[in-house]
Amino acid sequence: MQDFFEKLSTDDKDLIFKSGSYEKCQLTVQEGRSPVVLKIKFIVTGALHDNRIYIIPNEVFELKDKTCAFSFRLGTRIYFFKSKVHMDGKGFFVDSKTDLFELKRRRHVRFEIPDNYSYECTVVTPLNRNVRLKAEIINFSESGIRIRVNSDLAIFQKDSSVILSLKVGKRSVFYVACDIKFVGRKNKSNPELGLEFAGLNPLKQDKILNICEDLSRAYFNSLKNKKLSS
């Protein structure tokens, strides 16, 4: 498990999976070659005597016998687990005995972009807003982003600013101002920029957190050898 996830103890997990419902939940399931993201609701029954957490998807989707990666929030804390989905007369459910992980809220946790993960990243320079340069995302965090600009003619200076247009995964496009903290160029190749997000309002902070949560769930979904509760 990468070091930005922390496995919770059984007691801590039981405190979180107490009776009630959880609204801000999502799952990722692999459908063919593309991951599908669904918004869901958790309903925890009784005192977990039957070890079942029921799932209500926001849209119709066949989940029975599919292994999914789940995430949900409690305040600003984000939790993840991976489990096979079962079905009974009440609906879809997962086993609460599965391991539960929390995303460590360190400022500089960097999420790598998985292979075949869709995104669009464009750099808009303050000097000429009509010039838009395509870029590759190297890694992404709550505080910033590292990119490789697809232009060997572009000139960037440390401590200057740029604007990024970002569309990562299924999330809608948004613009974010960034301060340049690092400029690198290897063997005259396209420049790499280390950028720190600047002037974030609560809405943009939430958009960035959503992307980090999506990338975390994609990592969970890629685990091949994790032992799952049956």
pLDDT in tens, 49-108: 567 888 888 888 889 999 888 988 877 788 888 889 999 988 899 888 888 888 776 556
Other CB atoms within 10 Å distance of the CB of residue 55: 23
pLDDT tops 70 at residue 19: no
Cα separation, 185 vs 104, whole angstroms = 31
Return the CATH number of the domain spanning residue range 5-105: 2.30.110
Of the candidates 222, 214, 111, the one whose C-alpha atom is nearest the C-alpha of residue 170 is 214
For residue 225, what pLDDT is reported?
42
Cα separation, 154 vs 169, whole angstroms = 27
pLDDT tops 50 at residue 136: yes
Residue 68, token pair as written in the block: 């999914």
Q: Which residue has the higher pLDDT, 188 or 98?
A: 98
pLDDT in tens, 137-186: 999 988 999 999 988 767 788 899 999 999 998 889 999 999 999 998 77
Asked if the domains at 5-105 and 111-211 fall in one CATH topology, the answer is no
Of the candidates 166, 191, 190, the one whose C-alpha atom is nearest the C-alpha of residue 178 is 166
For residue 227, what pLDDT is reported?
44
Other CB atoms within 10 Å distance of the CB of residue 190: 17
Contact 174, 164 (CB under 8 A): no
For the segment 202-226, the average pLDDT, to the nearest whole number, is 79
For residue 226, what pLDDT is reported?
45
> Is the CATH number 2.40.10.220 carried by domain 111-211?
yes
- Work out the angle at residue 29's Cα, subtended by the Cα atoms of residues 28 and 31, and round it to the nearest 5 degrees: 135
Q: Mean pLDDT of all residues in the chain?
A: 82
Maximum Cα interatomic distance, the chain, rounded to a whole number of Å: 64
Q: pLDDT band for position 117 (50/70/90)?
A: confident
- For the chain, domain boundaries: 5-105, 111-211
For residue 168, what pLDDT is reported?
92
> With the C-alpha atoms ordered 4, 30, 26, 207, is the resulting torsion angle positive or negative?
positive
Number of H helices, E strands in the chain: 2, 16
